[in-house]
Structure 1
Amino acid sequence: MIERSHLNIIREVEKQGSLTAAAGSLCLTQSALSHAMKKLEMQLGTDVWLREGRSLRLTQAGRYLLGLANRLLPQLEHAEERMRQFAEGERGTLRIGMECHPCYQWLLKVVAPYLAAWPSVDVDVKQKFQFGGIGALFSYDIDLLVTPDPILKPGLQFEPVFDYEQVLVVPRDHALAKQAFVKPEQMSYEVLITYPVAIERLDVYSQFMLPAGVMPKRHKTIETTDIMLQMVASGRGVAALPRWLAQEYAASMAVVPVRLGAEGIAKQIYLGAREGDLSVDYLRAFIELARSL
């Protein structure tokens, strides 16, 4: 009873905002679209939309079908694209999602040798997702997720590929630069510069300051690593970053990495994928290469 065309219509009407716009997007006449949905409503015995003036509002049944469309259609489209690639002897595109701002520099070191080894595979990197990284994997918007904080879900598998230490980056002439490690209470005097991420997802908060009941003097957010470290070097604040990244910038900027706490904060970068895709040769090869570098 419920056909793929019905799900396409429901998704497109929600996306476009009207039957007329959806019909144009789907290359249908508005009457054909309306007829198809009225026939479905008769078969189901319930309305999919309620008319409110010139607008449409999904019923409870309609919202259920919209959720079904958002789950199933991306999978069908993904499968069809894979089948086309197999038929034409192509490999396709490896779509990588980033949930780790500073990991971009690490990723570049993996992508270059990967592209050389797999000339028939393109790589696309996405950093913003409508429903977050996990949602992007489930909705087939990406094939791999780079994250330091994996969330275990049925149907997904996360593999650690790189170990690193999270450190505090301070100006070279800062008093903390001469210390073996930073204590949580010392952060209350500092302006902390971070990426625009919720504080519960920032290790310097969740694993260092918040357990000690400490907050920084001020908190600023900056999107780009280069500008963030320029701010640190000019004495405008301090930042928490991976040690390997801080050391790279320390070679050309007046910044110094300092351990967070006596034991430090040990982290790992993970690559997450759908379990069913782990047998795809070029995806598996990317994971193995990332682990070897």
Structure 2
Amino acid sequence: MSTNRYEEDMAVTRLLAPRLAYFTAVARHEHVTRAAHELGVPQSTLSRAMVRLEQDLGVTLFARKGRTVALTTAGRTFLASAERALDGIARAAGSVQEDADPSFGKVAFGFLHTLGPETVPGLIRAFRADHPRVRFSLVQNYGEAMLEKLRAGELDLCLTSPLPDAPDLVARRLDEQRLRLVVPDDHRLAVRKRIRLAEAAEETFVTLEAGYGLRRITDDLCAEAGFTPKVAFEGEEAETLRGLVAAGLGVALLPPPAVPRPGVVELTVTAPRAVRQIGVAWLDGHPDTPPVAEFKRFLLSRRGRLIPELEPPA
């Protein structure tokens, strides 16, 4: 649609929208006085509004006989569309009011793929113990994509890592999660329990794609250890990388799995300190509905208890 056509349509909408409820009431009663009584407006106000509506449209909507009116053919056509428009508005109002209801409203919540198997289900289960009717719209994605959804108004809150540093966002640290160097179980390092990351400088890595928070953390930790990782594969999901490590394609820095995977050994990294910060983010200045505010308070109350620290398998 051209800009001029859009502007023209919006001008017509702004002109007509306030009068649709008046028009449908008069059309339903076929009587101005009864419609005015129902709407709680003076009869003269309602009569003038209908005259202006016809003038703005350039169409006669009513055949008048005293205070009794009957729809013309054009009026019946306009009524059908007006009723659909008002019904759509009523449905939209009901939907947003329902989403904001403290007892059974909705929270649009995003989280990282690696937090999906255990952490997020556990959080929702614990929250719903006291708020059993609150609904969730869940989005699982990588960090930057979720931050864009926050900015677009598609998410209320998200769990992400690393914590964003942006003027339009608020981020609060909730916990940290140790990262491990994952190697094939027949690898030369598989007999170890601990390792300095510099000892893996000559290894081939499998990593997440650029843009993922865990990839940025991996690159930063390797740089701190004095090397740039040689990358054999870039993926989109941590458990896929763990499977590729088991297949011998390389090694990886990963958070612990929800369930131990055969074919790999997970080594504690002693230097540099290999952790990722997990936090909750939201759009600065964005007003919270009651269910979102309650879930935000719940998440902040879990500081230091978000991620259970699992010992690597022996």
Instruction: With the length of structure 2 as denominator, give the TM-score of the two structures.
Output: 0.58
> What amino acid is the match of 2:278?
I
In the other structure, the counterpart of 1:274 is: 283
Report what 1:229 is aligned to. 242
CA contact (8 A) 2:176 2:276 kept: yes
Aligned residue for 1:35? 8
Partner of 1:262 in structure 2?
A: 271
Secondary structure of residue in 1 paired with 2:265 = strand
1:127 aligns with 2:140: yes
Q: Secondary structure at the match of 1:212?
A: coil
Give, in angstroms, the shift of residue 144 of structure 1.
Answer: 1.0
What corresponds to 2:122 in structure 1? Answer: 109
Are the counterparts in 2 of residues 204 and 240 from structure 1 also a CA contact under 8 Å? yes
The Cα of 1:181 is off from its aligned counterpart by 0.7
Matched, 1:173 2:193: no
122-131 or 101-110, which deviates more: 122-131
SS in 1 for 2:190: helix
Cα distance in 1 for partners of 2:253, 2:157 equals 25
Distance in 1 (CA, whole Å) between partners of 2:102 and 2:229 is 56
Q: Render the CA deviation track for 1:87-116: whole Å, top value 9, x for unaligned.
A: x66542211223x33222322222222233
Partner of 1:61: none
- Counterpart of 1:253? 262
Measure the CA separation in 2 of the matches of 1:204 and 1:266: 10
After superposition, the Cα gap between the structure-2 partners of 1:199 and 1:214, relative to the gap in structure 1 and judged at 3 Å, is farther
**Count of residue correspondences:** 221
Q: What is the SS of the residue equivalent to 1:206? A: helix
Q: Does residue 141 in structure 1 map to residue 114 in structure 2?
A: no
Q: Deviations over 1:213-256 (max 9, x none)?
A: 4232x3312333433322222322222111xx24x443x41322
Unmatched tracts of structure 1, length 5 or more: 1-17, 23-29, 40-77
Task: State the structure with more CA Rg.
Answer: 2
Number of the residue aligned with 1:70: none
**For residue 156 of structure 1, what is the aligned residue in structure 2?**
169
Q: Which residue is equivalent to 1:205?
A: 219
Asked if the contact 1:94–1:283 (Cα under 8 Å) also holds between the matched residues in 2, the reply is no
Q: CA deviation at 1:150?
A: 1.5
1:184 equivalent in alignment to 2:193: no
**Which one is further off, 134-143 or 276-285?**
276-285
Letter in 1 for 2:274: I
Aligned mates of 1:137, 1:185 — CA distance in 2: 40
Distance in 1 separating the partners of 2:98 and 2:120: 28
Q: Which amino acid aligns with 1:266?
A: V
Q: How far off is 1:189 after superposition?
A: 2.9
Counterpart-to-counterpart distance in 2, 1:277 and 1:38: 32
Taking every aligned residue pair, what percent have the same amino acid on both sides?
Answer: 20
Q: 2:240 aligns to what SS in structure 1? A: helix
Specify whether residues 214 and 283 from structure 1 end up closer, same or farther in structure 2 by C-alpha distance, changes over 3 A only: closer
After TM superposition, the score normalised by the length of structure 1 is 0.61
Maintained 8 Å contact 2:171/2:282? yes
Q: Specify the alignment match of 1:69 in structure 2.
A: none
Pairs within 5 Å for 1:33-72: 33=6, 35-36=8-9
Q: Deviations over 1:17-67 (max 9, x none)?
A: x35xx9xxxxxxx97x4624689xxxxxxxxxxxxxxxxxxxxxxxxxxxx
CA contact 1:184–1:214 (8 Å) conserved in 2: no
Shift of 1:278: 9.1
Of Structure 1 and Structure 2, the greater helix share is in 1
Check 1:228–1:130 CA distance in 2 against 1; reply closer, same or farther (3 A cut): closer
